[in-house]
Each structure stands twice: as structure tokens, then as C-alpha cells.
Amino acid sequence: MADRGSTLPRPEAKFVRGLGLLDSTMMVAGSMIGSGIFIVSADIARQVGSAGWLLVVWLITGVLTLIAALSYGELAAMMPRAGGQYVYLREAYSPLAGFLYGWTFYLVIQTGTIAAVAVAFARFLGVLIPSVSETHKLFEFGRFALSPTTLVAIVVLTFLTGSNCTGLKTGKIVQNIFTLTKIAALVGLVLLGLLAGANATALNANFKDWWTATFTQPVARGANEFNATPLGGLQLWLVLGTAMVGSLFAADAWHSVTLTAAEVKNPKRNLPLSLGLGVSLVCLLYFLANVAYLVALPLKGSPNGTAALERGIQFALNDRVGTAAIEVVFGEKASVIMALLIMISTFGCINGLILTGARVYYAMARDGLFFGAIGRLNRQGVPQNALVVQCLWACVLTLSGTYSELLDYVIFAVLIFYVLTMAGLFRLRRIRPEAERPYRAFGYPLVPAIYIVAASLIALDLLFSAKTRDNTWPGLLIVLAGVPVYFFWKRIGSRTEDQTDELPENTEEAGPN
């Protein structure tokens, strides 16, 4: 019989495998669908100037994203651990490569995206409640400002972070409900645009000449007059690369489920399958949404137009193409309908980003590359401390208003990390030929190689294009700034001895596959 005065060590909490195939697929789709699909087509339309090339941009985006997802499936099934892409880069190259990704992920990529989507939620709430305004400042100090909009964004971030701290079950229920709702809403938008929004004005303007490309830009910075320059040859292909920035980010976060791999049931089957299903569904809906825009609105229009048909896709008010398309059917009520749709979409997106992102910082801490407390799970089996530090930094970015600027900076870096991870697939095949691979990348080696070449060309285009290069180089500096930080952590940190809680063998199962 144990002595009453003795204390037994408290067993370490473990991840719970509570995500089935449906949950995992909803994680992929829910993290992808935010506000981008309703907005970015306006900027793409200004850059390419034709219906055919607008659809080509979304088609290429969909194909590249699906190739990447099907290739990541091999890595996810091979290494079903918390941290996803961080783990793949670490194992394929070195801890430094993984850290540089995790550093950029925490500093900008994930937290910046969370902040941006939270502010988007608040802005569309302002359509319903005008007092939720960005112009009224409750507090201001230098670059930091608190307005009703940022206050709502911070409340949403805090609420969803708190709900995810209560356990995986809460997070997945929220994710499933909101993802299914916004998929249904996006399907409704597509059907409404195709069946009720189609009109002769848009059809005649867009489909008589599919391929004459033009680049539309203001005659001077901030001017409301625009010039359209014909595009052709190499110049057209370079513009297509920069035009894909918006569509790629609208389709990003597709790999989110791999970050929670330690919590997926039967990960060797469900991770590759959920990646393929989720990405295929969302990319198909994105393409069809743009077809719906084109049958409801002329691509070209006037910035001085008063009605949606007069402004067209290029000059939709505040770039809100989805709202303009609905306006053709419902008139002034469109802004309220679309505001509700985007609020549902962004709320679910924020939840997915919060839930999945924290697992990267957890994995970094387990490697001694972040504060040790971040590498612990609470009693509910979730990385609560990682969730909290993620929320705090996202709130800082929200208050500073720099999230949009920072996201512009890391466009190039995100592509490079994708390319490195895809190349890591080849490297791991060579250095670990004996490793178990329950799923093998579709079309290997040709299909993954196509992605590497295409994404590398887009990255180079961003690096030297006049439209994007000013934001690309600072992004590269953000990544490189992580090098001295890595060696600092290596110096003061120590690798956690027991890392088995992120491996399948030490993860509790929750229900059948």
C-alpha cells in the first residue's frame, strides 16, 4: 500500500485520435474557404482582362493545389505526427529547415492569416451593424489602434481559442457545422449565379471573345482612371504568374489537416483521402463560382459605374465580386445576404486555422525550438499554451494593422516552402527507401516534378515582377531572420527526451475508423 504522503508523477496528457474521415475532410475544406473566393477575382480580372484567362488562372490554381495535396498525402501517411509540414522539412533536410518554416508560420503565415480573416469577419459584420466601424478609434498609439472592428476581431479570436482549449471534440464540432454550412452556401451562390443571375449583357461581353488579354492599371497611383494594355507572349505568362497570387491564397491552408495528424483516426488511410477529397471539392466550387460570376457580370466595366453590371467584375465595389453577382438577382439586399454568407465562411475558417496552427508550435517546442511550456498538452489533450500564444500574436497583428502587409511579404516564402517540401518527397524516397509508405504520391515522379517546376517559375516571377518584387524581398528577409534565432534556441534550449506523445503508438484512439 502506498504511503499517504507520497506523490505519484502525473501521467503526461496525450493527443486523442478523434478526427474521422469526415472531420478531416471538413478540416481541409473549412480552412480553405474564407473570404478570398468572394473578392480576389476582381484583381485577377484587372490583370488578365478576359473570361478565358480568368478561368485559366483558377484552373491552374486548382490543378497545382490538388497535385500538392496528393503528394503531401504520402508524407502525411508516412509521418502522422503533430506539426505536418514542419516535420516533413525537418526530416527531409534538417532541424534548421523545419524551424525556418515554423518561425515564418508563427510570425506571419498562420497568425497573419488568422488576423486577416478575423478582421474580414468583423468588416462584414459592419454591413449588418454599422457601429462596427474601422473609422471610429477607441484607442490609438502609434501603429496600434483599437476600433470596433478590431475589437470584434479580437473577441472572435479569443472566443474560438478558448473553445479549442476545451478539447478536440469542441473544435471539430464547430468546424463541421460551419464548413458544411458554407459549402452549402457556396453551392447556393453557384446555382443562383448560373440559373438566376445569367443575363445577356454578361454573356455577350464575356463569351464572344475569350482570349484577348489586357492588363488594366490606374494611370497614376490612387487615380480613378485606368488604362488597359494588351498582353501577349511571354508578358502574358508573366502576368498570369502574378495574377495567381490571389487565387493561390484563396486556396491555401489545404494542408491544415496534416498539422493535426496525431489526432486523425487511421491516419495512413484518412490523411491522404481527406486531402484529395477536400481539395477537389473546394477547387471545383471555386472554378464554378467564377463561371457563375462570368454569366452574371461582364468582366470589364467602369470604375465610375453605379450598378453592378456597369462596374463589372474588374471594378466591383470594394472588390466584392460575390456581392455584385448576387446584386444582379436580389438588388440592394445582396450586401446583407453576402455579409451573412462571408461571416459564416470566415468564422469556420478562423476556427480551423486556430485549431491546426497550434500543433506546429507544439512540435517545435518538443524539439527544443520554442518555449518548453508550449510543448505540453492540457488535460483535454490539446496544446493549450500553444493556442494561447498563437492568439496573443494574432491579436497584436490585428491591433497593428500590419497583417495584410506581412502576408504580402510572405507570398514568395510560402511557395518556396511548398517547393522544398515537394522536393523533400524525392529526397526521402532516396534516403529512407525502407520507410513504410502506406500511400504513394500520385504520378510520382512526373506529377510532383511538374508542381516543383511550375511553383518555382511562379516564385521567380514574383521575385522580379514590378508588381510584386517590392513585397517579395522583405518576405525573404523575414525567413532568413530566423537563422540566428534558430541558433539562439539551440543554445538555450534542450531537446525533450520523450517525444513519443506525438507518435501514433502513444496516441489514444477515439472510436472506430
What rounded mean pLDDT belongs to the chain? 87
Phi–psi pair at 2, nearest 5 degrees: -70, 145
- Secondary structure string (H, E, C) spanning 266-309: CHHHHHHHHHHHHHHHHHHHHHHHHHHHHHHCCCCCCCCCCCHH
Q: What is the mean pLDDT of the segment spanning 424-446?
A: 94
449's grid cell: 516534378
Q: Give residue 405's pLDDT.
A: 67
Distance (Å, rounded) from C-alpha 431 to C-alpha 92? 9
- Helix or strand (DSSP H, E) at 172: helix 168-191
Helices (H) and strands (E) in the chain, counts: 21, 6
- Helix or strand (DSSP H, E) at 84: none
Q: Give residue 106's pLDDT.
A: 93
- Helix or strand (DSSP H, E) at 141: strand 139-141
Q: Give residue 497's pLDDT.
A: 41
Q: Give residue 145's pLDDT.
A: 84
End-to-end Cα spacing for the chain: 40
Distance (Å, rounded) from C-alpha 110 to C-alpha 95? 20
Instruction: Categorize the per-residue pLDDT at 403 as very low, low, confident or very high, splitting at 50, 70 and 90.
Output: low
Q: What percent of the chain shows pLDDT beyond 90?
A: 57
113's grid cell: 492569416
pLDDT per position as a tens digit, 354-366:
999 999 999 999 9
Q: Give residue 461's pLDDT.
A: 83
- Secondary structure string (H, E, C) spanning 207-262: HCCCCCCEEEEECCCCCCCEEEEECCHHHHHHHHHHHHHHHHHHCCCCCHHHHEHH
Residue that the C-alpha cell 465562411 belongs to: 345
Give 82's strand partners. 260
Instruction: Categorize the per-residue pLDDT at 222 as very low, low, confident or very high, splitting at 50, 70 and 90.
Output: low
pTM given for the model: 0.88
Task: For residue 303, count other CB atoms closer than 10 A to its CB.
Answer: 16
Q: Give residue 507's pLDDT.
A: 53
Q: What is the mean pLDDT of the segment spanning 18-32?
A: 93
478, pLDDT greater than 60: yes
Q: Give the residue extent of every domain in the chain.
A: 16-217+228-435+448-509
Task: Give DSSP secondary structure letters for 299-336.
Answer: SS--TT-SSHHHHTTTT-GGG-HHHHHHHHHHGGGHHH
Pick from 57, 73, 71: which is nearest to 447 by CA?
71
Q: What is the mean pLDDT of the segment spanning 224-235?
A: 84
Domain 16-217+228-435+448-509 bears CATH identifier 3.30.460.10: no
18, pLDDT greater than 60: yes
The mean-pLDDT minimum among 51-65, 323-337, 356-370, 399-413 falls in 399-413
Pick from 425, 423, 393: which is nearest to 157 by CA?
393
Q: How far, in Å, are 50, 54, 67 from residue 240 at the CA level?
A: 12, 9, 19
Instruction: Categorize the per-residue pLDDT at 474 as very low, low, confident or very high, splitting at 50, 70 and 90.
Output: confident
Distance (Å, rounded) from C-alpha 159 to C-alpha 176? 17
Q: Give residue 414's pLDDT.
A: 86
Q: What is the DSSP letter of 49?
A: -
Pick from 324, 320, 323: which is nearest to 310 by CA?
324
100's grid cell: 525556418
pLDDT per position as a tens digit, 372-400:
899 999 999 999 999 999 999 999 989 88
Task: Give DSSP secondary structure letters for 446-464.
Answer: HHHHHHHHHHHHHHHHHHH
Residue that the C-alpha cell 484567362 belongs to: 53
506, pLDDT greater than 50: no
Which amino acid is present at 100? L
The mean-pLDDT minimum among 136-140, 317-321, 323-327 falls in 136-140
pLDDT per position as a tens digit, 267-306:
999 999 999 999 999 999 999 999 999 999 999 999 888 8
- Helix or strand (DSSP H, E) at 16: strand 16-17
Q: Give residue 512's pLDDT.
A: 45
pLDDT per position as a tens digit, 149-206:
999 999 999 999 999 999 999 999 999 999 999 999 899 999 999 999 899 999 999 9
Long-range (24+ apart) CB contacts under 8 A made by 98-102 are: 98/364, 98/367, 99/364, 99/369, 99/482, 99/485, 99/486, 99/489, 100/479, 100/482, 100/483, 100/486, 101/417, 102/360, 102/361, 102/363, 102/364, 102/369, 102/370
Give 230's strand partners. 214
